[in-house]
Amino acid sequence: MNIHTTTRRRIAAAAAASVAAVLALAACSSGGGGEPGAGDKPYVALVSKGFQHQFWQAVKQGADDAAAELDVEVTFEGPETETEVEKQLTMLQTALDKNPDAIGYAALDSEASTPMMTDAESRGIPVIAFDSGVESEVPVTTVSTDNLAASAEAAKHMAELVGSGKIAIVGHDQTSQTGQQRVEGFTQYIEENAPDIEIVDTQYAGGDQLKSADAAKAIMQAHPDLKGIYGTNEGSAIGVVKAVQESGRSGELTVIGFDSGTAQTDAIRDGLMAGAITQDPIKMGYETVKAAVAAINDEQLEPVIDSGFYWYDETNIDDGDIAAVLYE
C-alpha cells in the first residue's frame, strides 16, 4: 500500500513538473512582444475567424507588415475552427476589455456580436470589420474580398473551359456569408451567361479534404458525364482534385479551386487543376490595420474596402503579383 502511494505521488509530481515545463515553454514563445497596450504605440486588437489555417496566417502577416510600417502594436487571435462562434465572442470580449485603440473583427456570426459592438461604440473604440461584414452600424468600414465577383470570375473560366454540359460544386460552408456567396456568385454567372451549362449538384463538406473528396466522388458517380467541378475553398478544392485522381479521371474533368496552399498550387502546376481564384489575404490584413490607424486618427473611410482577388493558372502562377499573395 505504501509503495503504491509513493508511486502515485511520484507520478503526480512528474505530471505536475511536465505541466509546469509546458507552461514555461508556452510563456517563452509568447513573450517578446511585451504587454499589449502598455507602451505608447497605438494598440490594434484583431480577432479573426481562424488562426491555424494558412489564409489567416497570411492575413496576420499583412497585419504585421502594416504594424511595422505604421508603428502600431497589433495582436492577432482567432478560434481553432470556423464554427466556434461562442469562443470567438469570448475572444472579442477579452480584446475589448484590454481597451485597445481600435479593433479589427472578422465575424463568424455577423449578428451574435451585436452587444459587443454596442459596447465598443460606447467605449469609443472604432471597429474595422474584415473578411466578412458585421450586421451592425458600428464598424466604420469593412475590408473584404468581393466574394460574389470573385466566384463569378471562377464561373467565367469554368464556362470558357467546359463550353457546355454538366458541372457541380463542392462547397465548404452553407451557413456563413462567405460560403454562401462563393456558391451564389458562381451559380448566378452560369445561369445568366452559360445556358448550355447545367449545375447538377451542390454538396457541402465543411472544407475537410477527405470529406470533400468523398463528396466529389459521389457526385461523379451519380453523374458519369460530369465535365467540371468547382471547389469553393482550399480544402474543398484539394478534395475535388483527390477525388478526380482516385477515380482515375485526371485530365477528363475541369477542376477550379479557390484560395491557395501548396497542394493546390502543385495541382495547378501539374495540370490536375485548371486554375483557381485567390484572395489577397496579405492585403486584407494590411488594409485592416491601415484602416484602424486611420480610424484612430479620425480620418474618413469608405464603407467598403475591397481587398481584391486574382484568377491564377499555369500561365501566371509565378508572376510577381500572384506569387506574392499565394501562401504555402
CB of residue 293 to another protein, shortest distance in Å: 27
Contact string 263-302 vs another protein (x = CB under 8 A): x--x------------------------------------
Contact string 112-151 vs another protein (x = CB under 8 A): ----------------------------------------
When asked if residue 214 is in the footprint of another protein (CB under 8 A), the reply is: yes
When asked if residue 32 is in the footprint of another protein (CB under 8 A), the reply is: no
Helix H, strand E, coil C: the string for the chain is CHHHHHHHHHHHHHHHHHHHHHHHHHHHHHCCCCCCCCCCCCEEEEECCCCCCHHHHHHHHHHHHHHHHHCCEEEEECCCCCCCHHHHHHHHHHHHHCCCCEEEECCCCCCCCHHHHHHHHHCCCCEEEECCCCCCCCCCEEEECCHHHHHHHHHHHHHHHHCCEEEEEEECCCCCHHHHHHHHHHHHHHHHHCCCEEEEEEEECCCCHHHHHHHHHHHHHHCCCEEEEEECCHHHHHHHHHHHHHCCCCCCCEEEEECCCHHHHHHHHCCCCCEEEEECHHHHHHHHHHHHHHHHCCCCCCCEEECCEEEEECCCCCCHHHHHHCCC
When asked if residue 99 is in the footprint of another protein (CB under 8 A), the reply is: no
CB of residue 15 to another protein, shortest distance in Å: 7
CB of residue 97 to another protein, shortest distance in Å: 24
When asked if residue 86 is in the footprint of another protein (CB under 8 A), the reply is: no
When asked if residue 21 is in the footprint of another protein (CB under 8 A), the reply is: no
CB of residue 314 to another protein, shortest distance in Å: 17
Q: Which stretch binds another protein (CB under 8 A): 115-123, 128-136, 138-146, 197-205?
A: 197-205
CB of residue 261 to another protein, shortest distance in Å: 7
CB closer to another protein out of 127 and 263: 263
CB closer to another protein out of 51 and 311: 51
Contact string 57-76 vs another protein (x = CB under 8 A): x-------------------
